[in-house]
């Protein structure tokens, strides 16, 4: 059984995920991922993963990847319809730093995790069941076996254990691969997808794809393609902080479809049409955006939100969010599973700064967290220390 050691060792090599300018509240990992849709706070709240072998990394490596929101197609995508996902300009930063103390460590302060292991102990583990080659297919049996190997309870489903499990799976698998390079985006995407499978079981692949390639993606029935030259859209990302289960919500939509097929099936078809129309409009905007384009996007947002409510994935908190932004002349919808969670609000170019600030204050007044950002951000990127924003560099240096 594998035991963590060196819980308080401050000399561990580091990989630090940071982003943003202000400290957010603690968010649920299974809802937003490890800092992907949030701006992680600085100092002792910045997650760390430590200890790649020196043979794999000879100097400090700084990389980042964007977060993601679904523009249109939530739930309908589960039933073979189109979904549009876009990369957020809220980024997770990762710092990898080699160390020769013979340990590999993981520090995720945002969820209260700090672990360290002897590299030698990890190398002695029987990981033959993981398979070989580039991101070999991961199954539920593999995950259960990994829990057994590292000494985790079989029934552990909390974010803390799953975060550690995903890290150990990726570490053990990547370290036995001889072909891994950070430049290979395809391989990065495959490994990221495997980490998603450890956490979520049967993910769509959209999250890891958007964070790897950035921009905007079209997803349908397992096929992912990039939208060419998507326009940069300014939005508000709002976290209602209402927890929900994606699995339960997806199951509820399926039950409603079986109970009312002639009602729900047309809703899903209509959501599909909304996604396709949005794709068409975004394509036109890449060449020459007009005020009419933004008005169309707002209409699509409103229609999709009503459809999602009809599917049963709305929530009082999301209704409140939409009412607040409507009062300020803005248009919003849920993004993701619904039932709480997050929503997005489109910011037209003609919206005045005082109106934006007033909207943010009103949303905060209801206890929501609100970030002003944009979509269509670059994918995973390598940085030099000199290229980092001063606030990000300050956060890294404070660790």
| Residue 70, pLDDT score | 92
Which segments of the chain have a pLDDT < 50? 1-47, 53-55, 177, 179-182
Amino acid 322: pLDDT: 98
Measured CA to CA, the distance from residue 19 to residue 23 in angstroms comes to 10
Residue 94 has what pLDDT?
Answer: 75
pLDDT digits (tens, 9 = 90+) for 7-49: 333 322 333 332 333 333 333 332 323 332 223 232 333 445 5
Query: Is the dihedral angle over the CA atoms 310, 314, 315, 321 positive or is it negative?
Result: negative
Per-residue confidence (pLDDT) for residue 226, from 0 to 100 = 87
Query: Is 397 designated active site?
Result: no
pLDDT of 308: 98
Among residues 16, 118, 207, 272, the one annotated as catalytic is: 207
Residue 340, pLDDT score: 96
**Encoding tokens for residue 389?**
């924003």
Q: Both ends of the chain: CA-CA distance in Å?
A: 30
pLDDT tens-digit readout, 202-245: 777 888 989 888 889 999 988 888 888 788 899 999 999 999 88
pTM exceeding the 0.85 threshold for the entire prediction = no
Give pLDDT, residue 63: 84
pLDDT the model gives residue 312: 97
């Amino acid at each position: 059984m594998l035991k963590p050691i060196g819980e308080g060792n401050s000399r561990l090599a580091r990989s630090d995920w940071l982003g943003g300018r202000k400290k957010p509240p603690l968010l649920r990992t299974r809802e937003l991922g490890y800092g992907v849709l949030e701006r992680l706070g600085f100092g002792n709240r910045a997650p760390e993963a430590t200890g790649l072998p020196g043979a794999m990394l000879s100097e400090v490596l700084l990389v980042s990847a964007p977060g993601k929101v679904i523009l249109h197609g939530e739930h309908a995508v589960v039933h073979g319809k189109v979904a549009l996902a876009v990369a957020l300009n809220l980024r997770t930063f990762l710092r990898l730093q080699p160390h020769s103390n013979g340990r590999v460590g993981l520090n995720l302060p945002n969820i209260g995790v700090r672990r360290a292991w002897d590299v030698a102990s990890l190398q002695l583990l029987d990981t033959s069941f993981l398979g070989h080659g580039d991101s070999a297919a991961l199954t539920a049996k593999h995950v259960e076996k990994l829990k057994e190997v590292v000494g985790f309870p079989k029934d552990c489903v909390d974010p803390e254990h799953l975060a550690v499990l995903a890290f150990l799976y990726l570490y053990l698998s990547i370290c036995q691969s001889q072909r891994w390079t950070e430049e290979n985006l395809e391989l990065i995407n495959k490994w990221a997808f495997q980490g998603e499978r450890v956490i979520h079981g049967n993910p769509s692949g959209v999250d890891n794809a958007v964070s790897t390639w950035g921009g905007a993606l079209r997803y349908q029935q397992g096929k992912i393609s990039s939208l060419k030259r998507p326009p940069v859209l300014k939005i508000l990302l709002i976290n209602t902080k209402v927890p929900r289960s994606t699995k339960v919500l997806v199951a509820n939509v399926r039950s409603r479809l079986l109970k009312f097929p002639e009602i729900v099936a047309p809703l899903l078809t209509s959501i599909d049409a909304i996604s396709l129309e949005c794709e068409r409009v975004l394509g036109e905007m890449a060449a020459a955006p007009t005020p009419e384009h933004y008005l169309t996007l707002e209409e699509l947002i409103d229609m999709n939100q009503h459809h999602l409510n009809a599917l049963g994935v709305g929530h009082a908190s999301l209704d409140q969010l939409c009412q607040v932004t409507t009062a300020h002349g803005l248009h919003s919808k849920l993004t993701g599973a619904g039932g709480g969670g997050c929503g997005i609000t489109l910011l037209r170019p003609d919206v005045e700064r005082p109106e934006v600030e007033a909207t943010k204050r009103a949303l905060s007044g209801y206890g929501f967290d609100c970030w002003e950002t944009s979509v269509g951000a670059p994918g995973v990127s390598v940085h030099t220390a000199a290229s980092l924003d001063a606030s990000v560099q300050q956060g890294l240096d404070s660790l």
